[in-house]
Amino acid sequence: MTDDAIQRSEDAEEHLKSYKAIMKAGSEIGVPFSLALTMFFTSLVMANGIWLSLLLGVITYVFVHFVVKAFFSH
């Protein structure tokens, strides 16, 4: 192999590592957090109070985190 082919192979491995790290962070942190935030603000708009809204947000975060870990992690 030439030096150019070796460099392209190393670049592809680095891109794959970055892609996997971004996807892991997005699915294990980003998705549960955004759904919990949505649940929190939806509950506030429905006039359920701050404490119930926080509780529903935390419950949603934990539930979605476990669902993502169980079904979408390789």
d(C-alpha 62, C-alpha 56), whole Å: 10
Confidence bin at 69 (pLDDT 50/70/90) = confident
pLDDT tens string 7-65? 777 777 888 888 888 888 888 888 899 999 999 999 999 999 999 999 999 999 999 99
73 in the Ramachandran plot: left (φ > 0), alpha (ψ -120 to 50) or beta?
beta
* pLDDT at residue 74 in the model: 57
pLDDT tens string 19-32? 888 888 888 888 89
* pLDDT at residue 68 in the model: 87
* pLDDT at residue 73 in the model: 64
